[in-house]
Chain A
Amino acid sequence: DTEVTQTPKHLVMGMTNKKSLKCEQHMGHRAMYWYKQKAKKPPELMFVYSYEKLSINESVPSRFSPECPNSSLLNLHLHALQPEDSALYLCASSQGTGFSFFPATNEKLFFGSGTQLSVL
């Protein structure tokens, strides 16, 4: 199984809603990532988890709250989002060898197919 599964594929939410995005992988990877991608732009890193610990937070607003309950699961909790937060949210994973606080950047990344989020 070399898949990263993201749910839901599409999400429409109001600015007062609370929702969660889910990401799952069963490849034994110990590094997991959330990226945000606006149309026709490259992905922007949001968060990195290494061995279930948050190792990188790219100054993301607190209305985005990541959670890594175990080595296979990564969640992104959304609350009080703004319309400008509408984007494709991508999850990725990598082997995460070496017990490093920062995952190595010379490891292949496996991406999920993303959640297309619209905030009304």
Chain B
Amino acid sequence: KNEVEQSPQNLTAQEGEFITINCSYSVGISALHWLQQHPGGGIVSLFMLSSGKKKHGRLIATINIQEKHSSLHITASHPRDSAVYICAVGIIQGAQKLVFGQGTRLTINP
């Protein structure tokens, strides 16, 4: 079992829909990161969370430390939100490093 599991793996929705991407993890963490990767490679850090909730524009990220679960929400989705969304956790055992989920490929159709 992977230390970080994301769901769904693929998500297609219509413009304007409310989007939720989930991330569950099984290890102790220092923080959880949500990353966005557009076709062509570049990765952008959207959020880094260790508790509670963060909001930036139409994006909202929440984390429940007790349940080891995080969600990324996109309100009023737009075709430009089409990208791969990656959850990564900073593990605290041994050499500290990030462990990545497999990513969620989001496609928003106009």
Chain A interfacial positions (CB closer than 8 Å to B): 37, 40-43, 45, 48, 55-56, 88, 90, 92, 102-114, 116
Our pick among B40, B95, B97, B103 for the contact of A42 (Cβ within 8 Å) is B103
Residues of B in contact (CB 8 Å), total: 27
Given known A90-B43, A111-B45, contact A106–B103 (CB-CB < 8 A) = no
In the complex, the 3 A-B pairs of residues with the closest C-beta atoms, listed nearest first: A105-B90, A106-B31, A42-B100
* CB within 8 Å: A-B pair count: 66
B95→A106 contact, CB < 8 A = no
B31→A42 contact, CB < 8 A = no
Query: SS class of chain A's interface: helix, strand, loop or mixed?
Result: loop
The residues in B between 39 and 62 inclusive whose CB is less than 8 angstroms from any CB of A are 40-45, 48, 50
* Chain B residues within an 8 Å CB radius of A90: 41, 43
* Chain B residues within an 8 Å CB radius of A111: 35, 42-45
A56→B30 contact, CB < 8 A = no
Our pick among B42, B50, B86 for the contact of A106 (Cβ within 8 Å) is B50
B43→A105 contact, CB < 8 A = no
Cα distance A43–B33 in the bound complex, in angstroms: 13
